[in-house]
Structure 1
Amino acid sequence: MDVEEAHNKEKFRGKLYILSEDSAWQEAGIGHASVIGTGANRRLQFKDEDSGKVLHDRPVFASDVYQLQGEGERKTIIVWEDQEDQKDWALSFQDDEGSQAIYSLICHEPGPEEKRLLPPPKLTNLQDLARRIALVNPSQREQIAAEMGEAEFLAELRESFHSAEDLNSQKDLTNIFQIVKRIFLMSTHALTERYLAEDVYEDVLGMLENDDSLPLDKRIPHRQVMKEKVKFNDVVSFEDVETLKRIHLNYRLLYLKDIVLPRALDDGAFASLQQLIHKNLAAILEHLQKTDAVLTRLMEQVRQQDMQSLLFLEDACRLSRQIVPEQRQALYAKMASAGLFDALAVYFTGDWARGERNTTAGDEVGVRKPWEHPAQHHAVEVLLLHATFHPTHLRNWLTKEKNEDGRRVLRDLTHMMVNETDQGVQGQIAEILRSVLDPATLEHKEQDKRLEVFYEQGAMDDILSPLREKPPKAGSPPQVCFAQQLICEIVAFAVLKHGYRAKVYVIRHGLGQQVCRLLSAPQKYLQLAAVRVLRAIIGTKDEAYVRYVSKNNLLTLLLQSFEKCIMPPALGTNLMASATLELLEFIRQQNLKVLVETICKNHTPLLQRYASRMKPLELLLLKYQQNLEVEKYPPEQHASGGPIDGGGKSRSRRMRSPGRDDAAEDDSYFESLDDDEEPPPNGKEKSEGLPGLLGGYADEEKDADDSAQAEEGSEKQTEAGAKSLGHVSKRPRTVEPEEAEKTSQ
């Protein structure tokens, strides 16, 4: 800000007062006064000096309404009565020079030549006018916008446009295009709304047809498009005229932003248009929410299977994503209470659940043709929008007691996900089911009640039924394969979120075996889907899941598929190999001993063959050897890796891993996983694996002979184990002075 501008700003600084009902002047704010506009459009504005908020914005009335008051020659107060709201106002200026200037602008308007910044939009002035608008001084921006919004300016601009069209003057038409384009780039909401108003928007769009940056054959006839191709369907009658005007204006704003000026809009103009669109949209949806008659009539028309009403409902739900979450949640709650889901239930007839199929001669038997009623796809999208934002309303309706429509819609959704040929709709339905199955938004006492519908009343059986069929072949339809992939994702989600319910269901129904059959499918993404399910099951680290995976050899199927994917001509670096190695690394890091033992016992050749190329396999073998040593020689009972006899008898039973359940059936189950081991005749166990690596220090309370014998046996075992690895154990050992002397001798 230069010195002169700062001086002028201080000159018009003052306080705004309003006369209260008890005839006392109350301060309304401190800021700066100004007079904007010209002629009959002049307005007296007062803005807050800190926030810039407009505290007062009223038309300028007749000059006899205003009075200039003060003490002596210092006239610093302007007092007037607003003729529209019948309120008394006063402006007290800091400088009498500012009060005199404002009073002069109010009562003695300057002449036409002095007040106008822009020449009139006549044919002779179009080029000069386009240049001046393109180079607007920021300090004059507000006044220029006010001049371009005047009725006289707009009328002369339209007249010049019609004259240029009649004369076919491309130069004038191009100048008019530049002028109108700059008007929208001014980013003034009032100006934008005025130039897209009902009475002038056709001429304005005609002015924007003459884009000189496009060849003539590429220019879009916007007026023709709006008249012939764009049709307004009055689905529900809006009695509020203002709301109807906002609907039409919002469409023209979207058309301007997306079709007319997408390349010309800068960031500021684009943001201004978006803000104006969102403001109008929020007002329209708020009117829809608060007008019960309109919403009730809309739901009734949707229930009567009126396609236009369903499309209107879909657009309303889709556009609601652009408003604030609180207003969107209120709209969805009002729709649900108005019977939204009951209205949508008529589009789900249960044909999928009954297994009806549309086939013609030459079609593959069992493959459903595209759905005959596209209205179902729109109904699915409405359900998806509600489920992803706030699934409580849809979940409560689907799982409500004695609600046959809810059960039917749920069954139809599951069967549609399996049989629908449109993969986009399949994905939408899977997302709906995942949102409804998510217990995160439920209280703990409500989870059992809601999930019972899925696990106890057969809904989950319908969802998982395709897994019981044969794995897809190379020529299987893509929608069948995609459905099985989506089902695997739902299974993995349920395992992670539903706790004991999912665990009981998976183990009871052998779901792991059914999923692992996909490992033999030729489609790699189905193999990866099966790996994700295994990863979710093992990732819970639940002992019941671990025993289930080990007992049914699920990892054997995984490693067989893993070996196939890394054998030539494969390079061994594909996604399937990476996912398998990540799962094995997780088992090793968490030291799930049952799984480590199962893998290393049953697949030692495979692991040793590729251990040199893949570090996780080498580390898994090492972890298995360490577990064997700890199990045979627990550190708390052995020193230096050698056995401590204790009562003179050797340990003949296997020590259970820490954290194992003490139940008798669990012991017998885990003992059955391994081969029976008989103790050697001499009462000592045969050394296996890497004895001595994890041994403890010698017990100093033992007598010298027993200690020497124990250490000598431990040392021999350690050296034997170290030679099998090709290195010597470096674990420290306590050596008594007597033993050191004997050794030196």
Structure 2
Amino acid sequence: MDSVQSTAPRRVKVYTLEGDKWIDRGTGYCSGEVDNGPYFIVRNENDASETLLKANIEGSTQYQKQQDTLIVWTDNEGNDYALSFQEPEGCLSLCEFLINIQHNVEPNISLVAVISNGQDGEITEVIAGPVPEPCFPTDDNLVDVIELLNQGSKSNKFRETLLDFIENRNYLNKLIEIFERSEKNRNLMNLYYLCDVVKTLVFYNDSAILETFLDDDVIMGLVAILEYDPEFPNYKTNNREYLKETSRFKEVIPINDNEIKTLIKKTFRLQFLKDVVLARLLDDLTFNCISTMIHLNEGQILKFITDDASFLNDLFGLYDMQSEATIKKRREGIQLIHQFVLIAKKFQQTPRSEFYIALFNKGLFKLILFAFKDKLTDSRILATEIIVTIIEHDVLLFNKLETDDEKENEVDMTLVTILIDVLINDSNVGLKTQSFEALKVLLDPVNIESPSSPIGSSPASDLNHNETHDSISIGNEYLQSFYKNAALKLFLPIIKLDELKSDSSKINKNITITYSSLCELLNFMAKEHEKPLSRSFILENHLLVGISELINKSFSNQLRLSALRCLKSIIMLDDEFYTRYIIQNDLLKDFISMLDESNDSNNMVNSTCLNLLNIIVNNDTSINFRLLKNYLIVNYKSILKKNFLGRQWILSISDKEEEEDDDDDDWKRLLKS
């Protein structure tokens, strides 16, 4: 009674039904009160000492809310009353009072809303009413159990009672006992009813109820019940068999916290329910409910891994030189970290950064080095995915400044070197592609100079001038270290291209992907890195010579086009040094040959060649492009005449020369006269 408060007085008219007519008994102020039992009382608006109505709220009385301003009911003696409120808020206030009374004082009363349904009449909707108590299931009452669960699904009190039945009175175990008997006796109807019971419980979207599904003593029985879906009577899933085979709890490193062990098991079971058992049944609400439970569990697991003093030390200790761990155990460690890294990807920046930093501090690099030396391709694939996921979050986590005197202000290039080795030497095409994408991310100045905000930073601190200067400084040091310690290894295949040309049998799909990736990386570096760094490296190592030679017809069209696109991008930089280098070394020779051989073709090769020629021909403003046009005319005029675009260009040059000659003759005549 203490939890129910009296309501403020609301202006109302009181009516009673006599025969077929509603009689007006006066106007006053109505309030709900709870002294010595709950009741409505209406006091005359002109004389507060006069009571127009006092109606006790008791028994199994049903109150009807009609329209927005009427409450109608019949008392225990058969008298009909109606309260017509001046304002909808007054009616709503008394309805809330009735709901509180029903929940806390008089559970047998009810409040229903009478809603007009147009031409079809009226419908009633229960707002509050007596809540039936859950009953224990038996072999003979499963239909009643389903109906009861459906009726109580909107009542919080019923949910609370049901949860008590499940947690403290073995409700789920009784369902499983009935299931075992019904399956043994092949009672299909009961099996179908049981499946509907469990599905109804799932659709309550109650995390507390779903949590009880995950206990060791009931999970197998419940997934077994869900094998018999009445919507698919001709099909039966094998949930139990799959769960038995896949749910054996493996500990790569022993976990000393029993709560975390239990949480890991429950999280797997939730994932299994969401993705397998209930995948085609879940509506959005239930899906979101289970997903939220999984997310919260994964957050606790990640926090344990991040904060635990020994777990990561012991795990990465498997990869120490002196460790006696088996290859199988080490591979399982890679799978475990890969799974945790993907889980961390779902979280906000701060917990994700904390987890990734914990991995680095405890020895993630030892795991990565082992993975890339492992003969098993899966290990290398998982390690590459770990790298890509982390560098997408923050590039510089992998590249901390060296602190020793010999390498002061140099950045550790170990990761870049590993990825270069994969790109050049690994036979797995997928790994090559992943390593190429990872290298692009690692070498992108935007990522280097603007990594993820430090843990605990605010937007204001991110704008701090000193931090901006520091990030640019780190970016410069990073790229200088790359060009000094790793770039030469990356482009060594292009520098030593003669070795490949001497043995054409080595040219296969794998080689094509490697060289195409190198062409794109060279193009990226020339455009995005500071010119003094990238240009000096490219020219000093004669990389453009190798790129131009890749356009030779001894290579596949895919690789030739990659090289030509790279060369086109270099030309479009409109750089004096690149232009002079191209002209001095006759680097467009193979491009002209490619144009000549594709003159009569209508394909990608011809289109790409024409595009480059068009760019050079139609640029009249730049001295560099004028130099290139002169170089082409002097060296390849005869070949260019075979091509319609080259022919038009040469003709236009001839016309201009004739006009200039005519102008000279006119001047000469004028001078003589």
TM band (smaller chain): 0.5 to 0.7
Write the mapping of 1:356-505 to structure 2, written as runs, cut at 5 A: 371=375, 375-396=379-400, 410-440=416-446, 441-442=448-449, 443-457=471-485, 459-467=486-494, 468-469=496-497, 470-471=500-501, 473=504, 476-498=507-529, 499-505=531-537
CA, structure 1 residues 311+104, in 2 after alignment: closer, same or farther (shift >3 Å)? same
Q: 1:545 maps to what in 2?
A: 578
Partner of residue 103, structure 2: 105
What is the letter of the counterpart of residue 385 of structure 1?
T
- The change in CA–CA distance for 1:433 and 1:73 in structure 2 (over 3 A counts) is same
Residue type of the alignment partner of 1:180? V
Match status 1:308 vs 2:332: yes
Q: Specify whether residues 417 and 110 from structure 1 end up closer, same or farther in structure 2 by C-alpha distance, changes over 3 A only.
A: same
> What does residue 285 of structure 1 align with?
302
Cα distance in 2 between the residues matched to 1:181 and 1:619: 76
- Secondary structure of 2:491's match? helix
Contact (CA 8 Å) 1:299, 1:340: kept in 2 or not? yes
1:320 aligns with 2:344: yes
Match for 2:556 among 523, 528, 533? 523
Residue among 563, 578, 585 paired with 2:596: 563
What residue identity is the alignment partner of 1:384?
V
Q: Which residue of 1 aligns with 2:31?
A: none
207, 218, 221: which one pairs with 1:203? Answer: 221
Q: Cα distance, 1:258 vs. partner?
A: 2.1
| Match status 1:578 vs 2:578 | no
**Residues 136, 462 of structure 1: alpha-carbon distance in 2 compared, 3 angstrom cutoff:** farther
**What are the superposed Cα offsets for residues 60-87 of structure 1, whole Å, 9 maximum, x if unpaired?**
xxxxxx9999999799xxxxxxxxxxxx
1:125-159, Cα deviation, whole Å (9 max, x unpaired): 434555776x7798x27566556544255344333
**Shift in Å at residue 117 of structure 1?**
8.0
Match of 1:265 among 258, 279, 282: 282
Unaligned stretches of 5+ residues in structure 1: 1-10, 16-65, 76-92, 350-369, 630-686, 696-705, 715-745
What residue is the counterpart of 2:195 in the other structure? 177
Q: Provide the C-alpha distance between the structure 1 equivalents of 2:297 and 2:617, rounded to a whole number of angstroms.
A: 58
Match of 1:165 in 2: 183
Compared with structure 1, are the counterparts of its residues 70 and 131 closer, same or farther at alpha carbon in structure 2 (3 Å cutoff)? Answer: closer
CA contact 1:394–1:436 (8 Å) conserved in 2: no
Residue aligning to 1:115? 131
| Residues 85-104 of structure 1: pairs in structure 2 closer than 5 A | 95=93, 98-99=96-97, 101-103=99-101
* Secondary structure of 1:233's aligned partner: coil
Could you tell me whether the CA contact under 8 Å between 1:400 and 1:406 is conserved in 2?
no
Alignment check: 8 A CA contact 1:341 1:397 kept: no
1:593 paired residue among 616, 626, 634: 626
**Per-residue displacement from partner, 1:586-626 (whole Å, max 9, x unpaired)?**
43555422223333444445544442xx6xx678668x74x
CA contact (8 A) 1:399 1:407 kept: no
Please report how far the alpha carbon of residue 289 of structure 1 lies from its aligned counterpart in structure 2 after TM superposition.
1.9
Q: How does 1:606-617 map to 2 (within 5 A)?
A: 606-611=639-644
Listed one character per residue, the Cα deviations across residues 164-190 of structure 1 (whole Å, up to 9, x for unaligned) are: 223211122122223323433443333
Q: 1:405 to 1:538 in 2, by over 3 A?
A: closer
SS in structure 1 at match of 2:375: coil
Pair 1:510–1:197, CA change in 2 (3 A): same
Letter in 2 for 1:388: E
Instruction: Answer whether contact 1:345 1:405 (CA < 8 A) is retained.
Output: no
Structure 1 residues 610 and 224: CA distance shift in structure 2, 3 A: same
Q: What secondary structure is seen at the aligned counterpart in 1 of 2:237?
A: coil
Task: Check conservation: 1:296, 1:338, Cα contact below 8 A.
Answer: yes
Give, in whole Å, the separation in 2 of the partners of 1:422 and 1:475.
16
State TM-score, norm by structure 1.
0.62
Does structure 1 conserve the Cα–Cα contact (< 8 Å) formed by 2:274 and 2:290? Answer: yes
TM-score computed with the length of structure 2 as normaliser: 0.68
Q: 2:82 matched to which residue of 1?
A: none
Contact 2:399 2:412 in 1 (8 A): no
How far is 1:103 from its partner?
A: 4.6
* Alignment-mate amino acid for residue 139 of structure 2: L
> Is the 2:319–2:366 Cα contact (8 Å) retained in structure 1?
no
CA 430–252 in structure 1, closer or farther in 2 if over 3 Å, else same = same
Distance in 2 (CA, whole Å) between partners of 1:419 and 1:195 is 50
Amino acid across the alignment from 1:271? N
Determine which of 294, 298, 311 is the counterpart of 2:315.
298
What runs of 5+ residues in structure 2 fail to find an aligned partner?
9-33, 43-53, 55-90, 110-128, 450-470
Is the alpha carbon distance of 1:371 and 1:95 closer, same or farther for their aligned partners in structure 2, counting shifts above 3 Å?
A: closer
Q: Which amino acid aligns with 2:100?
A: I
The amino acid of 1:496's aligned partner reads: K
Is 1:219 the equivalent of 2:236? yes
Residue range with higher mean Cα deviation, 460-469 or 156-165: 156-165
RMSD over aligned CA atoms reads: 4.3
Q: 1:285 to 1:590 in 2, by over 3 A?
A: farther
Structure 1 residues 563 and 239: CA distance shift in structure 2, 3 A: same
CA gap of 1:243–1:230, structure 2 versus 1, over 3 A, is closer
* Cα deviation digits, residues 179-216 of structure 1 (max 9, x gap): 32343344333332222333321111111112345576
Paired residues in the alignment total 533
Report the 3-state secondary structure (helix = DSSP H, G, I; strand = E; otherwise coil) of the residue aligned with 1:396.
coil
SS of 2:657's equivalent? coil
Judging changes above 3 Å, is the alpha-carbon distance between structure 1 residues 94 and 372 closer, same or farther for their aligned structure 2 residues? closer
Q: Is the 8 A contact 2:255 2:261 kept in 1?
A: yes
Q: What secondary structure, in the 3-state scheme, does the structure 2 residue paired with 1:332 have?
A: helix
- The answer for the alignment partner of 1:50 in structure 2 is none
Q: CA deviation at 1:450?
A: 2.2
* 2:140 counterpart (113, 124, 136): 124
Task: Name the structure 1 match of 2:565.
Answer: 532
Structure 2: how far apart are the matches of 1:477 and 1:709? 64
How far apart, in 2, do the equivalents of 1:188 and 1:692 lie?
A: 92
Cα contact 2:547–2:563 (8 A) shared by 1:
yes
Helix, strand or coil: the match of 1:283? helix
User: Equivalents in 2 of 1:473, 1:454: separation in Å?
Assistant: 31
What secondary structure sits across from 2:310 in the alignment? helix
For the 8 Å contact 2:134–2:161, the answer to whether it is kept is: yes
Q: Which residue of 2 aligns with 1:188?
A: 206
